[in-house]
Every structure is written in C-alpha cells, then in structure tokens.
C-alpha cells in the first residue's frame, strides 16, 4: 500500500518535471506570441538574446494548416526586424513547426512554409536574407504535449533562434 | 443456457461439415481476398529431432511456424494438448484418422538435424481429409543462428500452398524506434524480423531520423536524418552498417526519399524558399532532375512496381490529395476524390492498389484504393494512424498508430487489406514509420 502511494508521488513529480522542462524551448518562461513584458523584463539588456526572446518575442503562431502571418504575428516580426537591424552581428535560424494533426512528411513541408513566411517578412522589413536560415521540424518537436487545441495552437509556430555572430 | 449450448454444437458441426466439403470438392484452399470468417484448423506437432542437438530447435521451429500461420487470422492451430497421434519419425505413415478426429484439416510434419552450426529442416504438408500430401516435401539448409528464418520459410511454403499466393513471413521491417516523452522524443533506426524478433539498431539517437525505406533487394535503407542540423537524405548498407549522405549540405531541406525499382534512382522532396517539390537523383552519379514545379507541397512519393509511374501527395488543389504522374515527371492526374485529406500513398507490390493515410473529421484512417482511385476502402480508424507499408505479397499492411495526449506513444500495427486481423506488432520500445522489406532469398 505504501509502495503504491510512493509510486503515485513519483508520477506526480515526473509530471511536474515534464511541464517545466520543455527541452526544445529556449526561453525560460515558455513563450508564446507576445511573450514579452515578463517579470523583470525591464532589467534585461536590450541588446541581449534574452531580451530578444522574452521582450521582443521570438516566435509567431499559425492557424491550422496555414502559413499566412496573422496581424499579431506581423507585429512580432516587425519587432524582431528592428532588433536584428540594431544587433547586426547575429545570424538566425528560423525553425518551423507543426502540430501533430497531420502526416509526418507533409508537416515537414508545412513547417518549412511557416519558417519561410517569417523569413520573407523579416526580409521585407530590411533584414538581409543571408542572415536568415530556415529549417523545419514538422511535428517532431512539440513544445506542448496535450492533444487539444490549447497545445496545438502553441505548437504551430516559427521560432527565430539567434545563432552566433556574423563576425568572428 | 441450453439454447446457447445447442447453437455452439451446430456451429461445430457446420465447421466440420465445411471441412469435409472442402476436401471432397478439391484441394485445400483459402481464398484470401474474400476475407476469411472461419480460420482453417491445422496442427503442427513438434518437429522430430534427428540429432541430439536438434531437440530445442525442433520444438521452437514448430512454434514459430504456428505463430506465423495463426497470426494471419486465416489459420487456427489445433493445440498439442488435443493431439491424439504423436509424430515420432519424419517418414512414419501419418495416422490421418487421428488428425481428422481433432478436425485438423492441414497437418505440418517436419524433422530437424544439427551438425556443428549447420541446421537442416525438412517438412511436409498434409491435406488430412484428402489423406494425401499437400505438395511435395521441402528441405532448407542454413546455420543454427538463422533458425527463425528457416521456420518462416516453412510457414511461407505452407501459406503459399494453401492460399495460392506467395508468403511474407521471411521478411524484415525497418522502422524508427522511439523513446522518451513527446516533447523530448529520441529516435533511432532499427530493423527487425516482420514478427518483431531480432531487433537490431542501425543508428544512435543523437539526431532525428524519419521514414526509412528498403532498397528493392533489401540490402540498403534510405532515410532522412537531421545529423547536419537540416533534414538530409542518407543511405545505409544494412549488412555493413555503413552510411553515406546523398543530398547536398547547403542548408536546403531534403526528405521523403524512396528507391525506384531499379535500386539506382531515388525520388525525394526538396524545399527551396519554403516550397517543396519532387526531384529524382541517380545515386551513383548524383545527377538530379526536377519532377514537379508548383508552388504547392509535393511529397511522399512512391513508385509503381514497374517503375513507370509515381504516386505522390500534393496540396495544389487546396488540401492534401493523391496524384499519379509519369516517373520522369509531367502531367499529374488526381486520383483521390473522397471527403477529407489524403497523404502518404504507397503503391502495392502487386501493382493493383495504393495504400494511403486519410484524415477526415478529426480522425485518421489507413485505407486502400485502386490505382485509378476507385474502390476506396478504409481499413482502420483512430486518433492518429499513418504511414502504411505493404507486406511483400500485398495482402497485409503495417502502419504507425499514435495514442492521444501527454502520455501519447507510437506503436506499430498490422491489418489485412480486407480490414480484418488488426493487431499490434511487438517492439521493445515505441515505434513508428515501418517499411517492409521484400521476401528474403
């Protein structure tokens, strides 16, 4: 009996760990569109990657089976473009993702469309194309793991990942 | 209570009657494509060990044969506990009356001998009610570590004699072995016997691997790997476990590779500027040619067995649908017209049908249709079924079934093309993206 209780407690701990440990999420606060204005954001150095992730917002979200940028997504990308123009040393990889409602290879192609939509928009806002690589993970790297729209809407995303400087 | 008992007795009598009728009307026969409601009862007593070291193999080989045959859903084993006769010598006369008494319509007898690491298996099939042999006896020679393959070969021969179709038991499946939770899933390539035995890992889980496919002779595997950070096409020699990257490393995405029946050409998807099209490549020279050029997604190609056509999926109409085009590219004809979205088409090895994944009203299905899109038939339904692959005889389909929610897990299932005999395929961990090999030689 006490063994059973122990097991349940262990499961609960694992469950919590799973919630907070989003291995593929590079922001501390989980993000989502407009993830800015977090606690303590004012203390961040505006030129820091953490500021880009948390205050500017490093990701945009998409509707089901769509790669069209919503007005909200365009707003976030405008902020990203401004930041990237001011911090011209960074190159970025835009990672496109899909939710699990789709076949594997189609979702790879869909994620690529989304990443490319974000890339094209950043270019239209003045960011040089050679700084912007794209890759798609399809449905291979979900952030949220429930099987309903609350999770799916956060998984359909294009994340702008800062990667190193242009200069050595 | 008495009524139920009576019904059961009539059922048993009807089954026995059907057996007798079968024997009088002609050879013992199952017509697979009609779907079998009453599986054919058979017995496979332990094979006779002819050398001291053979006894363990003699028992185990009979068990693997039984698992193969009963696993099809077309046959039902009469268990050893019901047997009246014991087979003590491979050439001893068969006491047909004893097998008739337990209603075994087919009987498989065999003998095993071991010399060093050499294994010899002989077997005979018997039509019990006709009191004669089912075809001529056969002998297989091999090594002791290949004993399961020899059992599969016996089962293939029996299956083939009774159904008139080639078997599929002596075959392998390459797949993606999965571990870890959904948001930290580790994937590595694995290959196993069709029944889940002899699992061997071909890659480590350091980078994502997807959708492997066997070459037409089963010696190589094509797959997509994120080893470079971008999805690229790799080819792996199964025997040597040697790998080679086929696509260029310039940051473009290449995925969904499939062999042509010639084993030298591949087709695959490449993404440029967010747009995914189909290309072909000669893998010895690296020469590429573009097969489609549309602003839509073109992916998941599959060759017809004669190599003349390619079926693929495209969302050029606004949603995922299936199209057929000449293998060199050119005008594509849409073949899917039902409700919902269609993806992952795979041409059957017999050339007569195309298996696919269908998404409709929030559910996923594995289905089959004729190559012109006619006679669509859905075989499964679940939260997420995808990625069918054909058994070498075109009678069974294996696919991925993923369960729902935060503890969701992918496993392999198989189903007959009649929609019967849906069942899980045993794997040590989670598993996805199965691809069936041809029959081994």
Instruction: Give CA–CA dist B103/B82, Å, rounded.
Output: 10
Question: Which among B142, B347, B240, B185 is positioned nearest to A104, based on CA atoms?
Answer: B185
**A142/B182 CB distance under 8 A:** yes
Q: Which phi and psi (to 5°) does residue B260 adopt?
A: -80, 160
- Say if domain B40-163 classifies as CATH 3.40.50.10070: yes
Name which of A108, A66, A6, A87 is nearest B271 in CA terms.
A108
Q: How many CA atoms lie within 13 A of B367 on its CB side?
A: 25
Give the separation between CA B48 and CA B51, rounded to whole angstroms: 9
pLDDT at B27: 65
Q: Identify the band that residue B244 occupies on the pLDDT scale cut at 50, 70 and 90.
A: confident
The three-point CA angle A26-A36-A42 to 5° equals 105
As beta bridge partners, residue B402 has: B410
Q: Which residues of B sit within 8 Å Cβ distance of A? A: 181-185, 187, 208, 210-211, 229-231, 251, 253, 255-256, 269, 271, 273-276, 297, 299-300, 313, 315, 319-320, 343-344, 357, 359, 362, 383-384, 386-387, 402, 404-406, 408, 432-433
Provide the pLDDT for residue B199. 97
pLDDT, tens digit, 9 for 90 and up, residues A104-135: 999 999 999 999 999 999 999 999 999 999 99
Which class would CATH give B172-436?
mainly beta
Cβ distance A18 to B299 less than 8 Å, yes or no, reads no
Option in B181, B187, B253 nearest A145 (CB): B181
Residue B23 has pLDDT above 60, yes or no: no
Give this complex's ipTM: 0.90
At B72-96, the pLDDT tens digits run: 999 999 999 999 989 999 999 999 9
β-bridge partners, B269: B255, B278
pLDDT for the residue numbered A150: 95
CA atoms within 13 A on the CB side of B405: 2
pLDDT band at B30 (very low <50, low <70, confident <90, very high): low
Q: Are A155 and A97 in contact (CB under 8 A)?
A: yes
H or E element in which residue B259 lies: strand B253-259
pLDDT digits (tens, 9 = 90+) for B265-307: 999 999 999 999 999 999 999 999 999 999 999 999 999 999 9
With an 8 Å Cβ cutoff, is A111 touching chain B?
no
Instruction: For residue range B298-356, list pLDDT tens digits in order.
Output: 999 999 999 999 999 999 999 999 999 999 999 999 999 999 999 999 999 999 999 99
**Residue reference for tokens 């094209």:** A120
- Condensed to tens digits (0 to 9), the pLDDT of residues B169-220 reads 999 999 999 999 999 999 999 999 999 999 999 999 889 999 999 999 999 9
> Contacts of residue B211 in chain A, CB cutoff 8 Å?
104-105
| Smallest CA–CA distance from A118 into chain B, residue | B274
For chain B, give every domain's residue range: 40-163, 172-436
Under 8 Å CB pairs connecting chains A and B tally to: 112
For residue B277, the surrounding DSSP H or E stretch is strand B275-282
Higher per-residue pLDDT: A155 or B20 = A155
Lowest mean pLDDT of A36-50, B6-20, B130-144, B399-413, name the range: B6-20
Scanning A25-64 for CB atoms below 8 A from B yields none
Please state the rounded mean pLDDT for residues A136-157.
96
* CA-based nearest distance A144→chain B, Å: 7
Q: How many residues does chain B have?
A: 441
| Average pLDDT across chain A, whole number | 81
């Amino acid at each position: 009996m006490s063994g059973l209780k122990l097991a349940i407690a262990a499961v609960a701990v694992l469950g919590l760990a799973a919630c907070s440990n989003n291995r593929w999420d590079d922001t501390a606060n989980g993000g989502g569109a407009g993830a800015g204005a977090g606690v303590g954001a004012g203390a961040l150095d505006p030129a820091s990657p953490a500021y880009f992730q948390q205050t500017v917002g490093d990701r945009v979200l998409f509707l089901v089976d769509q790669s069209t940028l919503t007005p909200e997504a365009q707003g976030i990308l405008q902020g990203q473009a401004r930041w990237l123009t001011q911090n011209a040393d960074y190159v970025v990889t835009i990672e496109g993702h899909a939710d699990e409602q789709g076949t594997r290879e189609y979702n790879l192609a869909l994620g690529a469309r989304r990443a490319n939509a974000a890339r094209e928009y950043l270019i239209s806002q003045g960011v040089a194309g050679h700084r912007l690589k794209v890759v798609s993970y399809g449905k291979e790297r979900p952030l949220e793991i429930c099987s309903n729209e609350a999770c799916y809407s956060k998984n359909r995303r294009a994340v702008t990942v800062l990667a190193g400087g242009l200069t050595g | 209570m008495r009524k139920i008992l009576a019904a059961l007795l009539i059922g048993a009598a009807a089954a026995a009657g059907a057996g007798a009728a079968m024997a009088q009307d002609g050879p013992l026969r199952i017509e697979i494509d009609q779907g079998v409601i009453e599986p054919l009862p058979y017995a496979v007593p332990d094979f006779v060990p002819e050398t001291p070291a053979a006894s363990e193999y003699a028992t185990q080989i009979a068990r693997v044969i039984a698992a193969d045959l009963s696993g099809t859903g077309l046959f039902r084993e009469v268990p050893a506990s019901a047997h009246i006769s014991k087979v003590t010598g491979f050439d001893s006369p068969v006491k047909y009356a004893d097998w008739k008494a337990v209603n075994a319509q087919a009987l498989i007898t065999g003998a095993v001998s071991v010399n060093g690491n050499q294994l010899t298996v002989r077997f005979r099939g018997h039509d019990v009610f006709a009191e004669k042999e089912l075809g001529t006896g056969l002998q297989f020679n091999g090594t002791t570590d290949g004993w399961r393959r020899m059992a599969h070969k016996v089962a293939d021969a029996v299956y083939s004699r009774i159904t008139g179709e080639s078997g599929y038991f002596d075959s392998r499946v390459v797949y993606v072995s999965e571990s870890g939770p959904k948001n930290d899933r580790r994937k590595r390539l694995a290959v196993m016997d069709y029944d889940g035995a002899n699992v061997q890992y071909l890659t480590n889980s350091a980078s994502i691997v997807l959708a492997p496919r066997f070459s037409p002779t089963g010696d190589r595997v094509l797959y997509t790997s994120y080893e470079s950070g971008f999805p690229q096409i790799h080819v792996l020699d199964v025997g040597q476990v040697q790998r080679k990257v086929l696509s260029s490393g310039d940051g473009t995405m290449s995925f969904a590779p499939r062999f042509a029946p010639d084993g030298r050409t591949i087709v695959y998807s490449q993404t440029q500027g967010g747009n995914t099209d189909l290309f072909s490549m000669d893998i010895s020279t690296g020469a590429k040619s573009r097969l489609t050029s549309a602003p839509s997604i073109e992916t998941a190609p599959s060759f017809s067995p004669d190599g003349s056509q390619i079926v693929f999926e495209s969302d050029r109409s606004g949603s995922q649908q299936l199209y057929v085009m000449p293998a060199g590219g050119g005008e594509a004809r849409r073949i899917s017209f039902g409700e919902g979205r269609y993806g992952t088409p795979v041409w059957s090895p017999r050339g007569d049908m195309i298996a696919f994944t269908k998404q409709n009203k929030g559910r996923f299905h594995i289905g089959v249709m004729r190559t012109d899109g006619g006679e669509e038939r859905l075989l499964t339904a679940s939260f997420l079924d995808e990625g069918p692959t054909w058994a070498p005889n075109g009678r069974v389909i294996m696919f991925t079934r993923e369960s729902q929610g935060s503890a969701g897990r992918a496993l392999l299932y198989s189903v007959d093309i009649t929609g019967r005999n849906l069942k899980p395929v045993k794997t040590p961990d989670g598993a996805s993206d199965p691809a069936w090999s041809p029959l081994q030689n």
